[in-house]
Structure formats: structure tokens, C-alpha cells
């Protein structure tokens, strides 16, 4: 079963307004912004980091690049690195590889969000596939996920 029904159940239970959108296949956050006709800064790019403490999700606006040195400092692990698709695919069994939503709480993973993502009222993110997205208010996302807000990205 895809992750979208579980995500919708959570959002509905919490009384959160959201929109689900279908679009042609898009494989990067910037491509999602293009097909959804939204600014890249509104699209939440999810990056999986592997460290000695396990896996974590780092979420930033699409046009931003994760600064691995900052990530290593945040995690207190000089060996932290980008996880490979083979390493993380089992963490998101109901998602297409690379299309997981930024809801680490659905997967038992900590979430770190760059404060740049909070600058727009709403965010758009993959809903478990490369052809579906969800749009919702950033404030609602933050309330549900309770991420650690810390700067770790810079504009590409």
C-alpha cells in the first residue's frame, strides 16, 4: 500500500487542510517545482543522511544544497554522509525510491529542517511517488513533525 493514504489519514485526523496533486513524472525537487508551477523555495527536498547514529531526514527548499560539514557538526559525527538509495530504500517501503515525504515520524526517523523552508506559508512535497505531491501549510507540517530547525543548507 502506498504511503499517501496513511499520510492523508494523519492530516485528516489532525484537521489539516491539504491538497493532493497529480503531475507528470518528476525525479528531482526542482523538476517537481516546474511541473507543479511553484517556486522551488516552496518544494521540500528530502535528503537522507547516514551517520553512526543511524539515518535522518534533512529537509530544505529545492534550490538549496545540503552542506555536509554543517550536517556533520549538527549530528556530532565527522563520518556522516549522504545515504545511497540502496541503503535507504528499505526505510520507505511504501514509497518510490527518492519520493518519500518529509514526515520522518511516519518512518521512525528524526527530521531536521533548514529555516529557509519556513519562509513561505505553504510547502509542496512528494507523496511517496514521482507523480503525486501534497501541498500544505508549513506551520501545520512543523506542528505535526516537530523537526529540529537548524541551518544546514545554502542556495545552489
Residue-wise pLDDT tens digits, 53-70: 999 999 999 999 999 999
Number of neighbouring beta carbons within 10 Å of residue 83: 17
Domain count within the chain? 1
Question: Does residue 7 surpass a pLDDT of 90?
Answer: yes
Between the CA of residue 7 and those of 14, 56, 87, 116, 118, what are the distances in Å? 11, 19, 23, 24, 20
Who has greater pLDDT, 121 or 1? 121
DSSP labels for 61-119?
ETTEEE-HHHHHHHHT-TT-EEPPHHHHGGG-TTS-TT---S-GGGTT--EEE-GGGGG
The per-residue pLDDT for 94 is: 92
pLDDT category at 12 given cuts 50, 70, 90 is very high
Q: Which domain holds residue 8?
A: 4-155
Question: Does residue 1 surpass a pLDDT of 70?
Answer: no
Question: Does residue 156 surpass a pLDDT of 90?
Answer: no
The per-residue pLDDT for 2 is: 85
pTM here? Answer: 0.96
Q: What percentage of residues in the chain have a pLDDT greater than 90?
A: 97
Rounded Cα distance, 1 and 136, in Å: 22
CATH of the domain at 24: 3.90.960.10
Amino acid at each position: 500500500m502506498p504511503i499517501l493514504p496513511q499520510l492523508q489519514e494523519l492530516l485528516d485526523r489532525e484537521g489539516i487542510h491539504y491538497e493532493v496533486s497529480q503531475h507528470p513524472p518528476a525525479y528531482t525537487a526542482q523538476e517537481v517545482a516546474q511541473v507543479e508551477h511553484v517556486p522551488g523555495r516552496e518544494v521540500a527536498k528530502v535528503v537522507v543522511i547516514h551517520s553512526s547514529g543511524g539515518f535522518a531526514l534533512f529537509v530544505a527548499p529545492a534550490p538549496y544544497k545540503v552542506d555536509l560539514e554543517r550536517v556533520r557538526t549538527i549530528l556530532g559525527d565527522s563520518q556522516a554522509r549522504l545515504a545511497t538509495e540502496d541503503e535507504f530504500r528499505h526505510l520507505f517501503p511504501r514509497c518510490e525510491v527518492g519520493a518519500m515525504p518529509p514526515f520522518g515520524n511516519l518512518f521512525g526517523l528524526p527530521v531536521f529542517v533548514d529555516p529557509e523552508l519556513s519562509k513561505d506559508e505553504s510547502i509542496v512535497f512528494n507523496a511517496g511517488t514521482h507523480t503525486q505531491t501534497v501541498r500544505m501549510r508549513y506551520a501545520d507540517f512543523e506542528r505535526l513533525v516537530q523537526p529540529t530547525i537548524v541551518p544546514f543548507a545554502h542556495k545552489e
